[in-house]
Amino acid sequence: MGVTGGISEMPQVTEGPGAADSEALATLHRVFGYGAFRGEQQSIIEHVVAGGDALVLMPTGGGKSLCYQIPALVRPGTGVVISPLIALMQDQVDALRALGVRAGFINSTQDFDERRMVEAEFQAGELDLLYLAPERLRLDATLDLLSRGKISVFAIDEAHCVSQWGHDFRPDYLALSLLGERWPDVPRIALTATATRATHEEITQRLNLPTARHFVASFDRPNIQYRIVPKADPRKQLLSFLREEHTGDAGIVYCLSRNSVERTAEFLTANGIQAVPYHAGLDAGTRATHQSRFLREDGLVVVATIAFGMGIDKPDVRFVAHLDLPKSIEGYYQETGRAGRDGLPSTAWMTYGLNDVIQQRKLIQSGDGDEAFRRRAAAHLDSMLALCETAQCRRGQLLAYFGQDPDATGCGNCDTCLTPPETWDGTIAAQKVLSTVVRLQRERGQKFGALQIVDILLGKRTGKVIQFDHDQLSVFGIGQDLTEGEWRGVIRQLLAQGLLAVEGEYGTLALTGTSGSVLRREQEVPLRKEPKKPAASRSRSAGASGGAGKAKEAAAELPGELLPAFEALRAWRAEQAREQGVPAYVIFHDATLREIVARRPGSVRELGTVSGVGEKKLATYGEGVLQVLASLDGAAPDAADDVPDADWPEPADEPEPDDWI
Ligand code: ADP
Ligand code: ZN
């Protein structure tokens, strides 16, 4: 008891409440059990409650849902939420009902009777919120239904799906501009976590929201630690990362291909980590089961292609790992943003190597799409590569990409801030690579890939070197000062900087327009030093312990003596969730359980002041929680049940530096 200094008995009232926003604040306390609005939530809600249109750009986990849920509760009528995520509607509605909100959805997963019931509730004005998939709005029946009820607000979630250049384009979103024409008096709020200027403008235009007020939140996610490590043996590296830092945690692993999704999931399972695959090649039933297990079970890992994760609002995803390079920073930021919505320390971890660059460049060249499409794709990739190769703060680069001023001193919670990489003057090394490429082409009329170039530089008489007489070239063996791994690093960075190009289906290397200035020594080439071993994984609390980190919002790790109570509450929560068939976080979030064990409330009234405990939840679970706490008093605290398996195989060997790509 008494762990927190200022017990927030009375919610902090934010300044100058008018009638509408004091009602909004009262709803926040009563229904959601939260003490105060976050960031811009209050001004957004005020604006929409007053009838204004809004475009809300907020990172994943920023708290977008309340921005339309509270107006829907405060304004008369039903809030209609357009969301592309049919598979999640049931969970979203369950979560709202657990809060005492009258919510329903209409989509293709329902049978006729279920749908009729929701329609009747809507017409009778008995719904606070109605979720619809965008394709429903193409049906006259849906439009007729909507015109027979009273609508308080239209919320267009995942609004970036209207962007044809984006990675989540949904043609049905284009039809949403009709909402404003048909219901000119109903405010519309469009929300997204994708926020480049271009997407931003596209949303305003295509959704026909010319007078919408724009709310752009800070895109920083201080509780997420960003790390990018050199790729050696990605699966083994992943396994060590999970064992060292995320035992028993829920997380998502992204791979580029279905095949590698399958193999990675098998590999993790074989090594004692519960993992399931998720990709577009699996049948819908399997996908739904795996998604639902991820939401409902504690500590499951999903290995997925990018087809997984949009709209998943599981708050306790502790890590997002990328085994392959994402195609753009937008995609990367959305995917990593799925970690740590609850504000607790989380990790975004990626392996990246020479082959990623070659593969992605090849994909762009051989893919369909016109020249303009290719140029865009290449520009996206270049920004992503710049992030991977930077010697500066990763977070700073990400924020700058989204047009936000980064902290000049670095964030203190990314790998380059925690272990600043060394740089070296790579001009001569770059010249050696470029001259080898030039000589092959000029003297022999040949083009080769990175492997052969490295063998020539190292002076290796491999079969292929001998076959082509490459040991006769004057550049043969001029690169013995660096290791193979270092040469691969040089080539990777030259490709990333556009000083070298990849061509054709074999990924052969060629000069670019700027290579000449390096060869003539008109340009210096600073390079990042390849680390001798992969950046040692750090404790997951690095960002939150206050030491180097500035993870302002991240809660402190739980002190050991509170763990038994926390585990007991989690077990109780799992039981409740099973009985009701809902994900555990629908009962209470981890963050709420943490606050409960830290404060040890002795009465229902006191429990009601914990963040995340609203009126309905207090009535439903108050007694149950107090009983769990009471049963702990006196009982000798058991050690946590789930100690890691003793019979796991030995940890993987550290990869040899020379294997690095
Ligand atoms: P988004 O949709 O932007 O990704 P959510 O709406 O799912 O984010 O909110 C992220 C998390 O933050 C949720 O767990 C939500 O309950 C919590 N949250 C949102 N607003 C507040 C608030 N004002 N106080 C406390 N928690 C909040
Ligand atoms: Zn940083």
Per residue in 366-378, pLDDT tens? 777 788 888 888 8
CATH number, span 224-419: 3.40.50.300
Say whether pLDDT at 528 is over 70.
yes
Distance in Å, CA 154 to ligand 1 centroid = 19
Say whether pLDDT at 545 is over 70.
no
**What is the spatial distance between Cα 568 and Cα 229, in angstroms, rounded to a whole number?**
37
- Say if CB 625 and CB 607 are below 8 A apart: yes
Cα angle 166, 168, 170 (rounded to 5 degrees) comes to 105
Ligand 1 atom closest to 611 (CA): 25
pLDDT of residue 238: 98
Residue ranges with CB less than 5 Å from ion ligand 2:
393, 395, 410-411, 414, 417
SS (H, E, C) 316-355: CCCEEEECCCCCCHHHHHHHHCCCCCCCCCEEEEEEECHH
Identical fold, 2-216 and 424-528: no
Distance in Å, CA 45 to ligand 1 centroid = 14
For 255-285, how does the pLDDT look when each residue is reduced to its tens digit (9 = 90+)? 999 999 999 999 999 999 999 999 989 998 9
Per-residue pLDDT, averaged over 403-415, amounts to 87
Tokens of 577: 């969730």
Tokens of 398: 């990400």
Q: Which CATH superfamily does the domain covering 558-641 fall into?
A: HRDC domain (1.10.150.80)
Instruction: Provide φ and ψ at 491, rounded to 5°.
Output: -60, -40
Residues with CB under 6 A from ligand 1: 34, 37-38, 41, 58, 60-66, 313, 315, 341-342, 589, 611
- Say if CB 328 and CB 199 are below 8 A apart: no
More confident residue, 13 or 185: 185
pLDDT band for position 482 (50/70/90)?
A: very high
Cα angle 350, 355, 361 (rounded to 5 degrees) comes to 100
CA distances to 55, 66, 189, 207, 621 from 51, rounded to whole Å, are 13, 16, 10, 17, 36
Distance in Å, CA 40 to ligand 1 centroid = 12
**What is the spatial distance between Cα 168 and Cα 164, in angstroms, rounded to a whole number?**
8
Ligand 1 site-directed mutation target among 37, 58, 65, most atoms within 8 Å of CB: 65
Distance in Å, CA 146 to ligand 1 centroid = 28
Ligand 1 site-directed mutation target among 25, 29, 30, 38, most atoms within 8 Å of CB: 38
Sheet with 251-254: strands ordered across: 224-230, 346-352, 319-322, 251-254, 301-304, 275-278
pLDDT of residue 314: 87
Instruction: Provide φ and ψ at 302, rounded to 5°.
Output: -110, 125
Which helix (H) or strand (E) segment is 424 a member of? Answer: strand 423-425
**What is the spatial distance between Cα 509 and Cα 520, in angstroms, rounded to a whole number?**
19
pTM: 0.77
pLDDT band for position 466 (50/70/90)?
A: very high
pLDDT band for position 332 (50/70/90)?
A: very high
What lies within 8 Å, CB to CB, of 166 at 6+ separation is 160, 194, 199, 330
pLDDT of residue 487: 93
CA distances to 14, 221, 554 from 543, rounded to whole Å, are 29, 12, 8
First and final C-alpha spacing in the chain: 52
pLDDT band for position 653 (50/70/90)?
A: very low
For 45-68, how does the pLDDT look when each residue is reduced to its tens digit (9 = 90+)? 999 999 999 999 988 878 999 999
Nearest protein Cα to ligand 1, atom 19: 63
Percentage of the chain surpassing pLDDT 90?
Answer: 58
pLDDT of residue 533: 53
Ligand nearest to the backbone CA of 225:
2
Per-residue pLDDT, averaged over 345-374, amounts to 87
Distance in Å, CA 90 to ligand 1 centroid = 18
Distance in Å, CA 62 to ligand 1 centroid = 6
pLDDT of residue 19: 58
Per-residue pLDDT, averaged over 297-324, amounts to 88
pLDDT of residue 267: 97
Q: Minimum mean pLDDT among 159-163, 226-230, 533-537: which range? A: 533-537
pLDDT of residue 167: 66
Question: What is the SS3 assignment for 644?
Answer: coil
Which phi-psi region, left, alpha or beta, contains residue 328 (left: φ > 0; alpha: ψ -120 to 50)? beta
Ligand 1 atom closest to 337 (CA): 4
**What is the spatial distance between Cα 620 and Cα 642, in angstroms, rounded to a whole number?**
28
pLDDT of residue 5: 33
Instruction: Provide φ and ψ at 214, rounded to 5°.
Output: -100, 130
Say whether pLDDT at 596 is over 70.
yes
Distance in Å, CA 421 to ligand 2 centroid = 12
pLDDT of residue 645: 28
Closest C-alpha to 164, from 210, 199, 205, 192: 199
pLDDT of residue 75: 97
CA atoms within 13 A on the CB side of 440: 25
Say whether pLDDT at 639 is over 60.
no
Say whether pLDDT at 388 is over 80.
yes
Ligand 1 site-directed mutation target among 69, 91, 313, 314, most atoms within 8 Å of CB: 313
Ligand 1 atom closest to 313 (CA): 7
For 4-45, how does the pLDDT look when each residue is reduced to its tens digit (9 = 90+)? 333 333 333 344 445 556 899 999 999 999 999 998 999 999
Say whether pLDDT at 658 is over 80.
no
* Every domain of the chain and the residues it spans: 2-216, 224-419, 424-528, 558-641
**What is the spatial distance between Cα 12 and Cα 451, in angstroms, rounded to a whole number?**
63
Q: Minimum mean pLDDT among 341-355, 441-455, 532-546: which range? A: 532-546
pLDDT of residue 128: 98
pLDDT of residue 264: 97
Q: Minimum mean pLDDT among 177-181, 341-345, 353-357, 641-645: which range? A: 641-645
Nearest protein Cα to ligand 1, atom 18: 63
pLDDT of residue 67: 98
Sequence length of the chain is 661
Which of the listed CATH numbers 3.40.50.300, 3.20.20.20, 1.10.3720.10, 3.10.180.10 matches domain 2-216?
A: 3.40.50.300
Ligand 1 site-directed mutation target among 56, 66, 588, most atoms within 8 Å of CB: 66
pLDDT band for position 166 (50/70/90)?
A: low
Per-residue pLDDT, averaged over 318-343, amounts to 92
Distance in Å, CA 469 to ligand 2 centroid = 48
Q: What class has domain 424-528?
A: mainly alpha
Ligand 1 atom closest to 60 (CA): 4
pLDDT of residue 303: 97
Per-residue pLDDT, averaged over 220-225, amounts to 93
Say whether pLDDT at 542 is over 80.
no
Ligand nearest to the backbone CA of 342:
1
